[in-house]
Structure 1
Amino acid sequence: MTEKTATPTVSITDAIAALSGPFQPQDLTVVNDTVVRVAQLLGEFPWHHHDEDELFLCWDGTFRIELEGRSPVVLTAGEMFVVPRGVEHRPVADEPAHVLLIERPETKQYGN
């Protein structure tokens, strides 16, 4: 049996404070085949889609995820939503908000 080394504790608050600006995600840790990222949202991100699901967990503030052909989903602190693979979407925040993203490491920020 191989002994696994514990990963260091990650402070989400510190990671948010170190962000360089809106839509500049920072990787926090890798879990199995996924990566946990944190990002600030402010304004409108371009429309895009991914070939895999994308999980949004609102850490603070409020933002919406606009979805092609569907009603927008509004998230507040502590709420999460999964955008299904292939769905055109864009996050929009009228005021600064922070999000945790759980996705595959190869997921491209601007979609496929």
Structure 2
Amino acid sequence: MTASSATGSVSITAAIAALPGPFQQRELARVDDTVVRVAQLAGAFPWHHHDEDELFLCWDGTIRLELADREPVILRPGELFVVPKGVRHRPVVDEVAHVLLIERPETVQFGN
């Protein structure tokens, strides 16, 4: 399910409801050279890094972004954080949470 201004709107709530399980992503839209994805988080994701920046926007729940050699960043609904390229990180949640990711289309979920 993807959309652009030419094809109509996207319901983030419906996209979240359709996610098959933890750490599964769904592309919602492409904007120039970026993609907007939604993902369900549960537990701890493996440590990884990307060769590009990655924006996390907390949709619901609470997300702790653990960053190598830095203090963790806590995100609550409506808060965002950009993980700079090359920084090892992992999202961790105690209860299911959902996140919007804004990144390049070629960004690999488990990192480089």
Same fold (TM > 0.5) = yes
- Three-state SS of the structure 2 residue aligned to 1:13 is helix
Aligned to 2:88: 88
RMSD: 0.8
Gaps of 5+ in 1: none
Query: 4+ residue runs of structure 1 moved beyond 4 angstroms?
Result: none
Report the counterpart of residue 107 of structure 1 in structure 2: 107
Tell me, which stretches of 5 or more residues in structure 2 are unaligned?
Answer: none
TM-score (norm 1): 0.94
The number of equivalent residue pairs is 108
Match of 1:50 in 2: 50
Q: Give the share of equivalent positions with the same residue, in percent.
A: 74
CA distance in 2 between partners of 1:77 and 1:84 (Å): 21
Q: Which residue of 1 aligns with 2:30?
A: 30
Instruction: Return the index of the structure with the highest Cα Rg.
Output: 1
Partner of 1:13: 13
TM-score of the pair, normalised by structure 2: 0.94
2:78 corresponds to which residue?
78
